[in-house]
Amino acid sequence: MDGVGPVRVVLRGLFVACAACGGRGLFHHWWKMREACPTCGLVFTRSQGYWMGAVGVNSMMSGFVLLVTIVISFLLAMPDPSWQPILIPSVIVGFGAPLFLDPMTRTFWTSMVALGRPPGVEGHQSP
């Protein structure tokens, strides 16, 4: 990586940028990530099962967003909450959040792995 601190590396991941260089354009389209960063050549899939961590992060983030949606829906439906104002937004968010968060969780996972195993050690190719 280019000598930046861990907070900046994590922020790069959260804002869908390369953990090593901060470059953009990591996705062909929403769900299809490039094999390597077009700017610095960081290889994203280092081994078989690499994206299982991103799936776990996506599940946790989606669950948190769903929980917040349920709580806010419940509070807005007070004082007499019925099931419809809580269920409808919860179902929409429950199905939509994992799809929407997929690119962010992939780059976030890549940044977490880059902190543990820096790109110069393994999985980094010359541009």
Q: 67-110: per-residue pLDDT in tens?
A: 999 999 999 988 888 888 899 999 999 999 999 999 999 999 99
Contact 63, 39 (CB under 8 A): no
Residue 96 lies in a domain: yes
Residue 121 lies in a domain: no
Residue 35 lies in domain: 6-116
Residue 62 lies in a domain: yes
Residue 123 lies in a domain: no
* Residue keyed to tokens 């820096």: 118
Which among 54, 51, 65, 53 has a CA at the least distance from the CA of 97?
A: 65
Q: What is the pTM of this model?
A: 0.81
Q: How many domains does the chain have?
A: 1
Q: Cβ contacts of residue 15 below 8 Å, gap of 6+?
A: 104, 107
Torsion of CA 81, 82, 86, 89, to 10 degrees: -130
Contact 103, 27 (CB under 8 A): yes
